[in-house]
Amino acid sequence: MKTLNDFNFENKKALIRVDFNVPLNEDFEVTDATRIVSAKPTIIKILEDGGSCILMSHLGRPKGFQDEFSLKHIADKVEDVLGVEVKFVSDCIGEAAETAATNLQPGQILLLENLRYYKEETAGDVVFAEKLSKLGDIYVNDAFGTAHRAHASTTIVAQFFQDKKCFGNLLAQEIESIKKVMEIGEKPVLAVLGGAKVSSKITIIENILDKVDHLIIGGGMTFTFIKAQGGKIGDSICEDDKMSLALEILNQAKAKNVQIHLPVDVIAASSFSNDAETQIVNVAEIPEGWQGLDAGPKSKEIFHNVVAQSKTILWNGPLGVFEMENFANGTIELGNSIAEATKNGAFSLVGGGDSVAAVKQFGFQDKVSYVSTGGGAMLESLEGKTLPGIAAILE
Protein backbone atom coordinates (compact mmCIF):
# COMPACT_ATOMS: atom_id res chain seq x y z
CA MET A 1 0.00 0.00 0.00
CA LYS A 2 1.73 3.19 -1.18
CA THR A 3 1.46 6.24 1.04
CA LEU A 4 2.97 9.74 1.04
CA ASN A 5 6.08 8.34 2.73
CA ASP A 6 6.94 6.37 -0.42
CA PHE A 7 7.53 9.58 -2.37
CA ASN A 8 9.72 12.63 -2.17
CA PHE A 9 7.58 15.46 -3.50
CA GLU A 10 10.47 17.91 -4.01
CA ASN A 11 9.74 19.90 -7.20
CA LYS A 12 6.78 17.61 -7.90
CA LYS A 13 3.21 18.68 -8.49
CA ALA A 14 0.81 16.52 -6.49
CA LEU A 15 -2.67 16.20 -7.97
CA ILE A 16 -4.73 15.55 -4.83
CA ARG A 17 -8.35 14.38 -4.76
CA VAL A 18 -9.71 15.85 -1.55
CA ASP A 19 -13.25 15.82 -0.21
CA PHE A 20 -14.08 19.50 0.22
CA ASN A 21 -17.80 18.89 -0.14
CA VAL A 22 -18.44 21.11 2.88
CA PRO A 23 -21.74 22.65 4.03
CA LEU A 24 -22.29 26.33 3.14
CA ASN A 25 -24.82 28.80 4.55
CA GLU A 26 -26.91 31.30 2.53
CA ASP A 27 -23.95 33.70 2.40
CA PHE A 28 -21.75 30.93 0.98
CA GLU A 29 -19.74 30.67 4.19
CA VAL A 30 -18.37 27.28 5.25
CA THR A 31 -20.31 26.17 8.35
CA ASP A 32 -18.24 23.04 9.12
CA ALA A 33 -14.61 22.88 7.97
CA THR A 34 -13.91 19.37 9.33
CA ARG A 35 -13.22 17.96 5.87
CA ILE A 36 -10.73 20.70 5.06
CA VAL A 37 -9.02 20.23 8.42
CA SER A 38 -8.85 16.46 7.75
CA ALA A 39 -6.94 17.00 4.49
CA LYS A 40 -4.40 19.39 6.05
CA PRO A 41 -1.73 16.83 7.11
CA THR A 42 -1.43 15.50 3.55
CA ILE A 43 -1.17 18.96 1.99
CA ILE A 44 1.35 20.25 4.53
CA LYS A 45 3.56 17.15 4.21
CA ILE A 46 3.78 17.63 0.43
CA LEU A 47 4.56 21.35 0.77
CA GLU A 48 7.21 20.61 3.41
CA ASP A 49 8.84 18.13 1.04
CA GLY A 50 9.22 21.00 -1.43
CA GLY A 51 6.33 20.05 -3.66
CA SER A 52 3.19 21.88 -4.76
CA CYS A 53 -0.46 20.85 -4.37
CA ILE A 54 -3.25 20.91 -6.93
CA LEU A 55 -6.47 20.30 -5.03
CA MET A 56 -9.51 18.89 -6.79
CA SER A 57 -12.93 18.24 -5.27
CA HIS A 58 -16.63 18.28 -5.94
CA LEU A 59 -19.10 20.49 -4.07
CA GLY A 60 -22.75 19.52 -3.98
CA ARG A 61 -24.62 18.26 -7.01
CA PRO A 62 -24.51 21.02 -9.64
CA LYS A 63 -26.31 20.69 -12.93
CA GLY A 64 -23.69 22.24 -15.18
CA PHE A 65 -21.89 25.49 -14.31
CA GLN A 66 -23.99 26.82 -11.42
CA ASP A 67 -22.24 29.62 -9.54
CA GLU A 68 -23.69 28.58 -6.17
CA PHE A 69 -21.64 25.38 -6.35
CA SER A 70 -18.36 27.12 -7.23
CA LEU A 71 -15.36 26.17 -5.12
CA LYS A 72 -14.35 29.86 -5.21
CA HIS A 73 -16.71 30.23 -2.22
CA ILE A 74 -14.51 28.03 -0.07
CA ALA A 75 -11.04 29.19 -1.23
CA ASP A 76 -10.66 31.68 1.65
CA LYS A 77 -11.64 29.05 4.21
CA VAL A 78 -9.14 26.57 2.74
CA GLU A 79 -6.48 29.28 2.98
CA ASP A 80 -7.45 30.01 6.62
CA VAL A 81 -7.30 26.36 7.64
CA LEU A 82 -4.05 25.60 5.83
CA GLY A 83 -2.34 28.87 6.69
CA VAL A 84 -0.95 29.05 3.16
CA GLU A 85 -2.09 31.20 0.21
CA VAL A 86 -4.51 29.33 -2.07
CA LYS A 87 -4.72 30.19 -5.78
CA PHE A 88 -8.02 29.43 -7.46
CA VAL A 89 -8.62 28.60 -11.10
CA SER A 90 -12.14 28.71 -12.52
CA ASP A 91 -11.94 25.39 -14.37
CA CYS A 92 -10.64 21.94 -13.53
CA ILE A 93 -9.45 20.96 -17.03
CA GLY A 94 -8.39 22.76 -20.21
CA GLU A 95 -6.11 25.68 -20.93
CA ALA A 96 -6.79 27.81 -17.83
CA ALA A 97 -6.24 24.88 -15.47
CA GLU A 98 -3.15 23.69 -17.35
CA THR A 99 -1.56 27.16 -17.36
CA ALA A 100 -2.25 27.62 -13.64
CA ALA A 101 -0.77 24.18 -12.91
CA THR A 102 2.32 24.83 -15.06
CA ASN A 103 2.98 28.14 -13.30
CA LEU A 104 2.64 26.60 -9.83
CA GLN A 105 5.89 26.79 -7.82
CA PRO A 106 7.09 24.53 -4.99
CA GLY A 107 5.29 25.45 -1.76
CA GLN A 108 2.21 26.74 -3.58
CA ILE A 109 -1.39 25.50 -3.61
CA LEU A 110 -3.86 25.61 -6.47
CA LEU A 111 -7.57 24.88 -5.98
CA LEU A 112 -9.44 23.73 -9.08
CA GLU A 113 -13.07 24.54 -9.86
CA ASN A 114 -15.83 22.01 -9.04
CA LEU A 115 -15.20 18.69 -10.80
CA ARG A 116 -18.92 18.04 -11.08
CA TYR A 117 -19.45 21.02 -13.38
CA TYR A 118 -18.61 18.31 -15.92
CA LYS A 119 -20.97 15.35 -16.10
CA GLU A 120 -17.94 13.33 -17.23
CA GLU A 121 -16.72 13.34 -13.60
CA THR A 122 -19.50 11.16 -12.18
CA ALA A 123 -19.70 9.19 -15.43
CA GLY A 124 -16.09 8.11 -14.86
CA ASP A 125 -15.13 9.36 -18.31
CA VAL A 126 -11.63 8.31 -19.38
CA VAL A 127 -10.96 11.30 -21.64
CA PHE A 128 -11.92 13.72 -18.86
CA ALA A 129 -9.74 11.76 -16.40
CA GLU A 130 -6.80 11.99 -18.79
CA LYS A 131 -7.24 15.76 -18.99
CA LEU A 132 -7.12 15.95 -15.18
CA SER A 133 -4.04 13.74 -15.12
CA LYS A 134 -2.09 16.27 -17.23
CA LEU A 135 -2.09 18.70 -14.30
CA GLY A 136 0.12 16.77 -11.87
CA ASP A 137 3.15 14.47 -11.59
CA ILE A 138 1.90 12.29 -8.73
CA TYR A 139 -1.73 11.41 -7.97
CA VAL A 140 -2.77 11.38 -4.32
CA ASN A 141 -6.20 10.20 -3.25
CA ASP A 142 -7.17 11.59 0.15
CA ALA A 143 -10.95 11.53 -0.23
CA PHE A 144 -12.45 8.59 1.66
CA GLY A 145 -15.95 10.08 1.40
CA THR A 146 -15.97 9.44 -2.36
CA ALA A 147 -13.74 6.34 -2.46
CA HIS A 148 -16.81 4.14 -3.10
CA ARG A 149 -17.50 5.96 -6.37
CA ALA A 150 -15.79 5.02 -9.64
CA HIS A 151 -15.70 8.66 -10.72
CA ALA A 152 -13.06 10.19 -13.00
CA SER A 153 -11.15 12.00 -10.24
CA THR A 154 -11.51 9.30 -7.57
CA THR A 155 -10.71 6.19 -9.59
CA ILE A 156 -10.27 6.46 -13.36
CA VAL A 157 -7.55 9.13 -13.23
CA ALA A 158 -5.27 6.73 -11.28
CA GLN A 159 -4.63 4.65 -14.40
CA PHE A 160 -2.64 7.53 -15.91
CA PHE A 161 -0.12 7.54 -13.07
CA GLN A 162 1.05 3.88 -13.03
CA ASP A 163 3.50 3.77 -10.10
CA LYS A 164 3.17 7.49 -9.32
CA LYS A 165 0.06 7.28 -7.16
CA CYS A 166 -0.59 6.87 -3.47
CA PHE A 167 -3.00 7.28 -0.57
CA GLY A 168 -3.01 10.53 1.38
CA ASN A 169 -2.78 10.46 5.18
CA LEU A 170 -6.52 10.61 5.75
CA LEU A 171 -7.37 7.78 3.37
CA ALA A 172 -4.50 5.69 4.73
CA GLN A 173 -5.84 6.22 8.27
CA GLU A 174 -9.33 5.17 7.23
CA ILE A 175 -7.99 2.00 5.60
CA GLU A 176 -5.87 1.19 8.68
CA SER A 177 -8.82 1.71 11.04
CA ILE A 178 -11.08 -0.59 9.07
CA LYS A 179 -8.29 -3.17 8.93
CA LYS A 180 -7.82 -2.94 12.71
CA VAL A 181 -11.44 -3.95 13.17
CA MET A 182 -12.09 -6.30 10.27
CA GLU A 183 -8.75 -8.11 9.95
CA ILE A 184 -6.33 -7.72 12.83
CA GLY A 185 -8.55 -6.63 15.72
CA GLU A 186 -7.52 -7.79 19.18
CA LYS A 187 -10.18 -10.13 20.61
CA PRO A 188 -12.84 -9.95 21.84
CA VAL A 189 -14.11 -7.99 18.84
CA LEU A 190 -17.50 -6.31 19.22
CA ALA A 191 -19.73 -4.67 16.63
CA VAL A 192 -22.64 -2.49 17.71
CA LEU A 193 -25.20 -2.02 14.98
CA GLY A 194 -28.11 0.30 15.54
CA GLY A 195 -30.25 2.46 13.30
CA ALA A 196 -33.65 2.13 11.78
CA LYS A 197 -33.80 -0.80 9.41
CA VAL A 198 -32.51 -4.35 9.08
CA SER A 199 -32.71 -4.03 5.30
CA SER A 200 -30.05 -1.30 5.18
CA LYS A 201 -27.66 -3.20 7.47
CA ILE A 202 -28.17 -6.79 6.35
CA THR A 203 -25.08 -7.06 4.15
CA ILE A 204 -22.97 -5.60 6.95
CA ILE A 205 -24.35 -8.07 9.48
CA GLU A 206 -23.68 -11.01 7.17
CA ASN A 207 -20.13 -9.83 6.50
CA ILE A 208 -19.16 -9.10 10.09
CA LEU A 209 -20.45 -12.37 11.54
CA ASP A 210 -17.15 -13.81 10.33
CA LYS A 211 -15.10 -11.13 12.08
CA VAL A 212 -16.63 -10.51 15.50
CA ASP A 213 -17.10 -12.34 18.80
CA HIS A 214 -20.03 -10.20 19.99
CA LEU A 215 -22.72 -8.34 18.10
CA ILE A 216 -25.06 -5.86 19.77
CA ILE A 217 -28.14 -5.20 17.67
CA GLY A 218 -30.11 -2.15 18.80
CA GLY A 219 -32.28 0.71 17.58
CA GLY A 220 -35.25 0.14 15.33
CA MET A 221 -33.74 -3.09 13.95
CA THR A 222 -34.40 -4.76 17.29
CA PHE A 223 -38.09 -5.24 16.68
CA THR A 224 -37.83 -7.26 13.49
CA PHE A 225 -35.69 -9.75 15.48
CA ILE A 226 -38.03 -9.76 18.50
CA LYS A 227 -41.21 -10.22 16.44
CA ALA A 228 -39.54 -12.97 14.41
CA GLN A 229 -38.95 -14.82 17.69
CA GLY A 230 -42.62 -14.48 18.65
CA GLY A 231 -42.37 -11.34 20.82
CA LYS A 232 -45.06 -8.65 21.03
CA ILE A 233 -43.67 -5.36 19.73
CA GLY A 234 -46.79 -3.15 19.75
CA ASP A 235 -46.46 -0.36 17.18
CA SER A 236 -42.64 -0.46 17.05
CA ILE A 237 -40.92 -0.12 13.68
CA CYS A 238 -40.64 -3.54 12.01
CA GLU A 239 -39.91 -5.00 8.58
CA ASP A 240 -42.16 -8.06 8.41
CA ASP A 241 -40.58 -9.21 5.16
CA LYS A 242 -37.17 -9.41 6.88
CA MET A 243 -38.28 -11.62 9.78
CA SER A 244 -37.12 -14.89 8.26
CA LEU A 245 -33.80 -13.24 7.45
CA ALA A 246 -33.53 -12.15 11.09
CA LEU A 247 -34.00 -15.76 12.25
CA GLU A 248 -31.43 -16.91 9.73
CA ILE A 249 -28.94 -14.36 11.11
CA LEU A 250 -29.53 -15.65 14.65
CA ASN A 251 -28.86 -19.21 13.44
CA GLN A 252 -25.76 -18.22 11.51
CA ALA A 253 -24.45 -16.38 14.57
CA LYS A 254 -24.91 -19.50 16.70
CA ALA A 255 -23.09 -21.63 14.12
CA LYS A 256 -20.24 -19.12 13.98
CA ASN A 257 -20.02 -18.80 17.75
CA VAL A 258 -20.94 -15.11 17.70
CA GLN A 259 -22.88 -13.93 20.74
CA ILE A 260 -25.76 -11.70 19.75
CA HIS A 261 -27.05 -9.22 22.31
CA LEU A 262 -30.46 -7.69 21.70
CA PRO A 263 -32.17 -5.25 24.10
CA VAL A 264 -34.17 -7.02 26.84
CA ASP A 265 -36.16 -3.93 27.79
CA VAL A 266 -37.06 -0.67 26.08
CA ILE A 267 -38.41 2.80 26.71
CA ALA A 268 -41.81 2.52 25.06
CA ALA A 269 -43.62 5.67 23.95
CA SER A 270 -47.33 6.31 23.37
CA SER A 271 -46.47 8.02 20.05
CA PHE A 272 -43.44 8.94 17.90
CA SER A 273 -42.88 12.20 19.73
CA ASN A 274 -40.52 13.63 22.32
CA ASP A 275 -43.56 14.61 24.40
CA ALA A 276 -45.14 11.16 24.35
CA GLU A 277 -45.95 9.28 27.55
CA THR A 278 -43.31 6.66 28.29
CA GLN A 279 -42.96 3.41 30.21
CA ILE A 280 -40.18 0.85 30.62
CA VAL A 281 -41.30 -2.55 29.34
CA ASN A 282 -39.88 -5.94 28.45
CA VAL A 283 -38.81 -5.83 24.80
CA ALA A 284 -41.09 -8.75 23.91
CA GLU A 285 -44.13 -7.42 25.77
CA ILE A 286 -44.76 -4.00 24.29
CA PRO A 287 -48.47 -3.13 24.58
CA GLU A 288 -50.57 -2.33 21.50
CA GLY A 289 -50.42 1.40 20.70
CA TRP A 290 -46.90 1.76 22.19
CA GLN A 291 -43.56 1.74 20.39
CA GLY A 292 -40.02 1.10 21.58
CA LEU A 293 -37.89 4.18 20.95
CA ASP A 294 -34.81 3.62 23.15
CA ALA A 295 -32.94 0.92 25.06
CA GLY A 296 -34.16 0.31 28.62
CA PRO A 297 -32.03 0.25 31.83
CA LYS A 298 -31.36 -3.52 31.90
CA SER A 299 -30.31 -3.47 28.24
CA LYS A 300 -27.97 -0.57 28.86
CA GLU A 301 -26.32 -2.47 31.71
CA ILE A 302 -25.89 -5.61 29.58
CA PHE A 303 -24.47 -3.56 26.70
CA HIS A 304 -22.12 -1.72 29.06
CA ASN A 305 -20.69 -5.03 30.31
CA VAL A 306 -20.16 -6.36 26.79
CA VAL A 307 -18.43 -3.13 25.72
CA ALA A 308 -16.24 -3.15 28.85
CA GLN A 309 -14.94 -6.66 28.00
CA SER A 310 -14.15 -5.85 24.37
CA LYS A 311 -10.74 -4.95 23.01
CA THR A 312 -11.91 -3.91 19.54
CA ILE A 313 -15.18 -2.06 19.00
CA LEU A 314 -17.01 -1.00 15.87
CA TRP A 315 -20.03 1.27 16.29
CA ASN A 316 -22.52 2.00 13.56
CA GLY A 317 -25.98 3.42 14.19
CA PRO A 318 -27.83 4.82 17.22
CA LEU A 319 -29.56 2.65 19.85
CA GLY A 320 -32.68 4.81 19.82
CA VAL A 321 -34.30 7.86 18.29
CA PHE A 322 -31.41 10.04 19.45
CA GLU A 323 -32.75 13.11 17.64
CA MET A 324 -35.40 13.33 20.40
CA GLU A 325 -33.92 14.22 23.77
CA ASN A 326 -36.09 11.78 25.71
CA PHE A 327 -34.92 8.83 23.59
CA ALA A 328 -31.24 9.73 23.27
CA ASN A 329 -30.03 8.24 26.53
CA GLY A 330 -29.35 4.70 25.28
CA THR A 331 -27.09 6.09 22.54
CA ILE A 332 -25.37 8.50 24.96
CA GLU A 333 -24.71 5.77 27.53
CA LEU A 334 -23.36 3.45 24.87
CA GLY A 335 -21.04 6.27 23.76
CA ASN A 336 -19.90 6.70 27.38
CA SER A 337 -19.23 2.96 27.70
CA ILE A 338 -17.22 2.95 24.46
CA ALA A 339 -15.30 6.05 25.58
CA GLU A 340 -14.44 4.30 28.87
CA ALA A 341 -13.35 1.10 27.10
CA THR A 342 -11.19 3.19 24.76
CA LYS A 343 -9.55 4.87 27.75
CA ASN A 344 -8.80 1.40 29.09
CA GLY A 345 -6.99 0.42 25.90
CA ALA A 346 -9.64 -0.81 23.45
CA PHE A 347 -9.56 0.31 19.81
CA SER A 348 -12.87 1.92 18.82
CA LEU A 349 -14.03 2.91 15.36
CA VAL A 350 -17.23 4.85 14.74
CA GLY A 351 -18.60 5.36 11.28
CA GLY A 352 -21.07 4.86 8.51
CA GLY A 353 -24.35 6.62 7.75
CA ASP A 354 -25.57 8.85 10.55
CA SER A 355 -23.35 7.52 13.35
CA VAL A 356 -20.92 10.38 13.03
CA ALA A 357 -23.71 12.93 13.53
CA ALA A 358 -24.70 11.24 16.79
CA VAL A 359 -21.10 11.02 17.96
CA LYS A 360 -20.48 14.70 17.24
CA GLN A 361 -23.78 15.81 18.74
CA PHE A 362 -22.85 14.20 22.06
CA GLY A 363 -19.17 15.16 21.99
CA PHE A 364 -17.67 11.67 21.71
CA GLN A 365 -15.43 12.36 18.71
CA ASP A 366 -12.33 12.85 20.86
CA LYS A 367 -13.08 9.93 23.16
CA VAL A 368 -13.05 7.14 20.58
CA SER A 369 -10.01 5.93 18.64
CA TYR A 370 -11.22 6.94 15.19
CA VAL A 371 -14.28 8.57 13.65
CA SER A 372 -14.62 7.79 9.97
CA THR A 373 -15.10 10.66 7.52
CA GLY A 374 -17.07 8.58 5.03
CA GLY A 375 -20.76 7.66 5.43
CA GLY A 376 -21.47 5.55 2.36
CA ALA A 377 -17.83 4.58 1.85
CA MET A 378 -17.64 3.25 5.40
CA LEU A 379 -20.87 1.28 5.04
CA GLU A 380 -19.59 -0.34 1.84
CA SER A 381 -16.27 -1.17 3.51
CA LEU A 382 -18.12 -2.86 6.37
CA GLU A 383 -20.10 -4.81 3.79
CA GLY A 384 -16.76 -6.25 2.70
CA LYS A 385 -16.64 -4.46 -0.65
CA THR A 386 -13.36 -3.28 -2.13
CA LEU A 387 -13.89 0.40 -2.85
CA PRO A 388 -13.00 1.39 -6.43
CA GLY A 389 -11.02 4.46 -5.29
CA ILE A 390 -8.86 2.25 -3.08
CA ALA A 391 -8.47 -0.53 -5.65
CA ALA A 392 -7.31 2.01 -8.26
CA ILE A 393 -4.31 2.98 -6.12
CA LEU A 394 -3.44 -0.63 -5.30
CA GLU A 395 -3.52 -1.76 -8.96
* Positions marked active-site: 35, 197, 353, 376
Q: Closer CB to ligand AMP, residue 200 or residue 369?
A: 200
Q: Are strands 189-193 and 312-316 parallel, antiparallel or unpaired?
A: parallel
Which of 62, 124, 136, 320 binds ligand AMP (CB under 6 A)? It is: 320
What per-residue string of b and e applies to 270-289 under the rule 16 or more CB within 10 Å gives b? eeeeeebebeebbbbebeee
Q: Which stretch binds ligand AMP (CB under 6 A): 12-20, 135-143, 227-235, 317-325?
A: 317-325
Please report how close the Cβ of residue 193 comes to ligand AMP at its closest, in angstroms: 8
CB 371 within 8 A of CB 365: yes
Provide the mask over 172-211, with x wherever binding to ligand AMP is found by CB under 6 A and - wherever it is not: -----------------------xxx--x-----------
CA distance 324 to 334: 16
Which of 47, 53, 54, 321 binds ligand AMP (CB under 6 A)? It is: 321
Which residues contact residue 65 at a Cβ distance below 8 angstroms, ignoring those fewer than 6 apart? 117
How many other CB atoms are found less than 10 A from the CB of residue 251? 10
Please report how close the Cβ of residue 354 comes to ligand AMP at its closest, in angstroms: 4
| CA 379 to the chain's CA centroid | 7
Q: Is 351 in the site for ligand AMP (CB under 6 A)?
A: no
Please report how close the Cβ of residue 351 comes to ligand AMP at its closest, in angstroms: 11
Which residues contact residue 63 at a Cβ distance below 8 angstroms, ignoring those fewer than 6 apart? none
CA distance 319 to 311: 21
Q: Which stretch binds ligand AMP (CB under 6 A): 11-19, 63-71, 127-135, 314-322?
A: 314-322
Please report how close the Cβ of residue 304 comes to ligand AMP at its closest, in angstroms: 18
Q: Is 136 in the site for ligand AMP (CB under 6 A)?
A: no
Measured distance between the N- and C-terminal CA atoms of the chain, rounded to whole angstroms? 10
Which residue's Cβ lies closest to ligand AMP?
195
∠ CA 269-279-270, rounded to 5°: 25
Please report how close the Cβ of residue 183 comes to ligand AMP at its closest, in angstroms: 24
Residues that bind ligand AMP (CB under 6 A): 195-197, 200, 219-220, 237, 292-293, 317-318, 320-321, 323, 353-354
